[in-house]
Amino acid sequence: MMSEERSLNFIEEIVEEDISTGKYGGRVLTRFPPEPNGYLHIGHAKSICLNFGLALEYGGKTNLRFDDTNPVKEDVEYVDSIKEDVKWLGFEWANELYASDYFDQLYEFAVSLIKKGLAYVDDSTAEEIAAQKGTPTEPGKGNEYRNRSLEENLRLFAEMKDGKYPDGAKVLRAKIDLASPNMHMRDPLMYRIKHAHHHRTGDKWCIYPMYDFAHGESDAIEEITHSICTLEFIPHRPLYDWFIEKLDIFPSKQYEFARLNLNYTVMSKRKLLQLVEEKHVDGWDDPRMPTISGLRRRGYTPASIRDFCERIGVAKRENMIEMALLESCIREDLNKTAWRRMAVLDPIKLIITDYPEGKTETFVGENNPEAEDGEGTRELPFSRELWIEREDFMEEPPKKFFRLAVGNMVRLKSAYIVKCEGFTKDADGNVTEVHCTHVPNSLSGNDTSGINVKGTIHWVSVPHAKTAEVRLYDRLFRVEDPSNEDGDFKEYINPNSLQILPNAYIEPDLATAIPGKGYQFIRKGYFTLDKFSTPEKLIFNRTVTLKDGWVKK
Ligand code: ATP
Ligand code: MG
């Protein structure tokens, strides 16, 4: 969360300066402008926290604007998921807007530039235009279309709009400077012909504005004061300013910050789409995906993601953030809020030979020992036969093994101290049962035995246990920066990123676990119900382990 002493980031400095000089009458209006061609990811969360955060900080507002100028890749499914994710992160937009709502206005803007002699219709092919554009060190060349008359340009542009020409036959270009050192200023495209159905405007349009023409003009139409985008748009800024100046419209300004890069994952929507379409993952919300919906399904909380965005800050230079930082944010949050439960993931049976058969005692455990009031309690049934973790017993223990081995004593969490007396094995040599006796006056909270034990282990009573499928996740990629390796990024997928434990035993109270709530399985990590969990088949996802298992070697 925001600390009082934190110094202003460079965008806050700009906003404060603008407020103090009264540049926009002290007003702050930002926008978050996703293209609805995929689900939002943690990088978008950074942009969302920045845009909405600035508005909250300075008494302004934020628009949610869908940048839907490319009819081919966009879809309402994406629009809906984006709205859900922004809300879930805890932000409210002032207006839900669509760049496509401005198509009429943008068309008028284009016509007015043609009338000023600042735009022309070009019949060249994409290849010809690219060839005529020159190189950064060599100026571009004009062509015969560049000198068309205003009348001809107006007529041709209207005909483009009216569907007279096939895709690619003509484009509208801004007439700026073919010798500009900035390639984006060498007569950039404003409109192209695309006979495609649009998810909102249907078949009304067969010409669509390019990003550079649509984005700044949409900002100006909405009277956005600070239009924040990522660094790759720095070379587009002169064009952003040029259109606004020539159209003489609201003077929105663009500012750029470094995008979020996170290790062991990919963040481009194109790559995430490939993972989904080629079924490397179980949809956009697969718990291994860096998408907001994936993180939610994994058990991340909105507060942990906002905290992460706050901690990484806003910079002007790109860097790579450690996944471990994101994990430590959710760990810290869940440590404060998760309810404690017992679950045995890799079970082996423990029999308390001196405990009566058929007897049940019911112990009580606090839901959340980190909370002042404990957040209530739940009942823990106890009996002669318990499930414990296989790794909590060793036939031949090393020194300092404080769990079960013949002759060792441990405490059963919230219950008795037991002493290991023996064990049984099957024909293959696998341990099948661990036999213990218990110390009757050693009950937690009322222990008069005077015995000190070094280890405490978790358990679930065999006759009371419920079963669940437990899914353990690891990094989706086995290298830090899969996009920067040789060959296809998918070659670097971690083949062991999902481990399914079909038959874990959980304490009975977990049968009524609350969807979306975090649970700490004592000693095993933080877990949450999966979206496909049902009362008949409970499924838990591990959100994160209790400690970072990936510390640098
Ligand atoms: P991609 O390249 O993955 O398709 P994009 O930038 O095209 O992503 P948009 O939907 O256009 O995705 O992004 C909406 C907003 O989120 C933009 O302002 C963009 O700058 C910002 N954004 C996208 N990715 C990141 C990131 N990794 N870090 C910070 N901001 C990001
Ligand atoms: Mg984009």
SS (H, E, C) 72-106: CCCCHHHHHHHHHHHHHCCCCCCCEEEHHHHHHHH
Atom 23 of ligand 1 has which residue's CA nearest to it? 44
* Ligand 1 touching residue 259 (CB < 6 A): yes
Q: How far apart are CA 153 and CA 119, in angstroms?
A: 8
In a domain, 391, yes or no: yes
Q: CA geometry: angle at 459 spanning 431 and 413, to 5°?
A: 130
In a shared domain, residues 160 and 59: yes
So what's the pLDDT on residue 74? 76
Does residue 373 sit in the same domain as residue 331? no
Q: Annotated catalytic sites, by residue?
A: 35, 259, 269
Share of the chain above pLDDT 70, in %: 98
Task: Label residue 526 by pLDDT band (50, 70, 90).
Answer: very high
112 shares its domain with 130: yes
* d(C-alpha 298, C-alpha 450), whole Å: 43
Specify the pLDDT at position 5.
Answer: 67
- Considering Cα of 176, then 182, then 183, then 188, what sign does the dihedral take? negative
Beta carbons of 35 and 68 less than 8 angstroms apart: yes
Residues 332 and 363 in one domain: no
Cα 523 from Cα 451, distance rounded (Å) = 23
Query: Residue 419 sits in which domain range?
Result: 349-454
Average pLDDT over residues 35-56: 97
Query: Domain check: are 335 and 236 in the same one?
Result: no
How large is the average pLDDT for residues 175-181? Answer: 97
Mean pLDDT value across the chain: 96
Q: Mark whether 133 and 211 lie in a shared domain.
A: yes
Q: Measure 147 CA to ligand 1 centroid, in angstroms.
A: 37
CB 315 less than 6 A from any atom of ligand 1: no
> What is the spatial distance between Cα 188 and Cα 178, in angstroms, rounded to a whole number?
9
Residue pLDDT, tens place only, 487-501: 999 999 999 999 999
Q: How confident is the model at residue 553 (pLDDT cuts 50, 70, 90)?
A: very low
Tell me how far apart the alpha carbons of residues 364 and 344 are, in angstroms, rounded to a whole number: 18
Residue 548 pLDDT grade (very low, low, confident, very high; cuts 50, 70, 90): confident
Phi, psi angles (nearest 5°) of residue 5? -85, -10
Establish if 36 belongs to a structural domain.
yes
At 1, the pLDDT band (50, 70, 90 cuts) reads very low
Last residue of a domain, which of 210, 235, 259? 259
What residues are paired with 385 via a beta bridge? 351
| Same domain for 224 and 129 | yes
Residue 76, domain CATH? 3.40.50.620
Helix (H) or strand (E) holding 195: none
The answer to whether the CB of 220 falls within 8 A of the CB of 72 is no
pTM: 0.94
| Residue 101 belongs to a domain | yes
pLDDT of residue 195: 97
Check if the beta carbon of residue 170 is closer than 8 Å to that of residue 122. Answer: yes
The SS3 call for residue 491 is helix
pLDDT tens string 356-372: 999 999 999 999 999 99
Chosen domain end from 398, 431, 454: 454
On whether both 356 and 248 belong to a single domain, the answer is no
Which residue ranges make up the annotated binding site? 35-37, 41-47, 67, 211, 230, 259-260, 267-269
Output the residue whose Cα is nearest ligand 1's atom 2: 268
Indicate which CATH number applies to the domain containing 358: 2.40.240.10
Cβ atoms of 189 and 173 within 8 Å: the answer is yes
Single out the residue in 259, 283, 308 at which a domain terminates: 259
pLDDT tens column, 437-458 = 999 999 999 999 999 999 999 9
Q: How far is CA 546 from CA 76, 280, 375, in A?
A: 38, 27, 21
* DSSP strand pairing (525-529 vs 539-544): antiparallel
Specify the pLDDT at position 6. Answer: 78
Q: Is 332 helix (H, G, I), strand (E, B) or coil?
A: helix
What is the average pLDDT across 405-429?
A: 97
Q: Distance from the CA of 44 to the center of ligand 1, in angstroms?
A: 6
Closest CA to 272 of 286, 287, 284: 284
35 CB within 6 A, ligand 1: yes
**Strand-strand pairing, 320-321 and 261-262:** parallel
Nearest atom in ligand 1 to 33's CA: 14
Same domain, 170 and 288: no
Are residues 508 and 367 located together in one domain of the fold? no
Under 8 Å between Cβ of 63 and 224: yes
265-317 pLDDT, tens digit each:
999 999 999 999 999 999 999 999 999 999 999 999 999 999 999 999 999 99
Residue 460 belongs to some domain of the structure: no
- Whether residue 552 lies inside any domain: the answer is no
Confidence bin at 44 (pLDDT 50/70/90): very high
Axis-axis angle for helices 237-247, 211-222 (nearest 10): 60
Check if 236 has its Cβ closer than 6 Å to any atom of ligand 1. Answer: no
* Average pLDDT value for residue range 387-412: 96
At residue 530 the predicted structure's pLDDT band, cuts being 50, 70 and 90, is: very high
- Enclosing H/E stretch for 223: none
Q: Is 26's pLDDT higher than 60? A: yes
Count: domains in the chain: 3
CA of 37 to the centre of ligand 2 (A): 9
Check residue 552 and give its pLDDT. 46
Pair 332, 355 in one domain? no
| Ligand 1 pocket residue status of 267, Cβ below 6 Å | yes
146 versus 73: the higher-pLDDT residue is: 146
pLDDT for position 123 = 98
Q: What is the pLDDT of residues 66-120, one digit of tens each?
A: 999 998 887 889 999 999 999 999 999 999 999 999 999 999 999 999 999 999 9
